[in-house]
Amino acid sequence: MEWLSALAADIFTTQFLFALASIVVIDIVLAGDNAIVIALAARNLPPSLQKKAIVWGTVGAIVVRTLMTLAVVWLLKIPGLMLVGGLALLWIAYRLLTAEDDDHGDASANTSFIAAIKTIVIADAVMGVDNVLAVAGAAHGSFLLVVLGLLISVPIMVWGSRLILRLMERYPVIIYIGAGVLVVTAVKMVMGEPLVKPWFEAHAWVQWLLYPVALAAILGGGRMVVGSRARARGPESRAA
């Protein structure tokens, strides 16, 4: 029982509680992006599959994030990781924005369900670098804190994605707001890549230009595709 007493003594210290509070704040702030991805990926699924997509997508995302946490030091050594991840997230934001509604029967629904899970896991892996680094830094080497951080992020992503999904159903404009958040996250990742960060810091004006250009390209391009698709279907169709 000595190990249990030692564990309790470590947990109920000001330093531990402060680190845990920091991790909770980090999860609340950074898990928002993940909740948006989950909601966007699940929005076109039948209602019966939406909850399953949220749960299994979150499970897959947590598994990937756990593996990334264990390999965080190795990940930091990969040149161009943030750059490639940011560009991939831009493409994911565009694909989620222009995803079509699924109303073609069970076979198509099952295919869309699997595709949604893949999108959630891949997007979380792309965006999870910041989250993993932030949690690992706040944990100060404590494996227990890292595990608690991962556990805390689960309900945040599940409840957050369900709330965002309901809001998207009532207010479709939130779909574009959500995609915009992903675009901003992607741009931050690109500019934070060590290979190009010095150049962006030396040309600060490019940073301010890149955000509106990326938003206009992804959101504007996505809107044009959705509108064109709706017009092709006939006057009864409505753009998302």
Would you write out the chain's pLDDT as a tens digit for each of its 240 residues?
A: 444 454 444 555 677 777 777 777 666 666 667 778 888 888 878 877 888 888 888 888 778 777 776 676 566 667 887 788 788 888 888 888 887 654 444 545 556 778 888 887 887 777 666 666 666 666 666 677 777 777 777 777 777 888 888 888 788 888 888 888 888 888 888 888 888 889 988 888 888 899 999 999 999 988 888 888 777 776 554 444
Cβ distance 64 to 125 under 8 Å?
A: yes
Q: What is the per-residue pLDDT for 99?
A: 73
Model pLDDT, residue 215 = 93
Q: Which pLDDT does position 137 carry in this prediction?
A: 60
Two tokens at 177? 């707001």
Nearest-angstrom CA–CA distance, 204 and 101: 40
Q: Domain range spanning residue 131?
A: 16-233
pTM over 0.95: no
pLDDT for res 76: 61
**Residue 212: what pLDDT?**
93
pLDDT of residue 214: 93
Report pLDDT for 123.
77
Integer Rg of the chain from CA: 20
Per the CB < 8 A criterion, the answer to whether 78 and 86 are in contact is: no
Examine residue 112 and state whether it is found in any structural domain, yes or no: yes
Is residue 6 domain-resident? no
Flag whether 240 is in a domain: no
Q: Is residue 168 part of a domain?
A: yes
Residue 76 lies in a domain: yes
Is 82 within a domain?
yes
SS3 track for 142-186? CHHHHHHHHHHHHHHHHHHHHHHHHHHHHCCHHHHHHHHHHHHHH
Q: How many domains does the chain have?
A: 1
Distance from C-alpha of 146 to C-alpha of 132, rounded to nearest angstrom: 9
Any domain includes 2? no
3-state secondary structure of 234: coil
Does the residue 3 lie in any domain?
no
In the chain the beta strands, taken as DSSP E runs, fall at: none
Q: C-alpha 81: how far from its chain's center?
A: 16
Q: Do 205 and 84 touch, CB atoms closer than 8 A? A: no
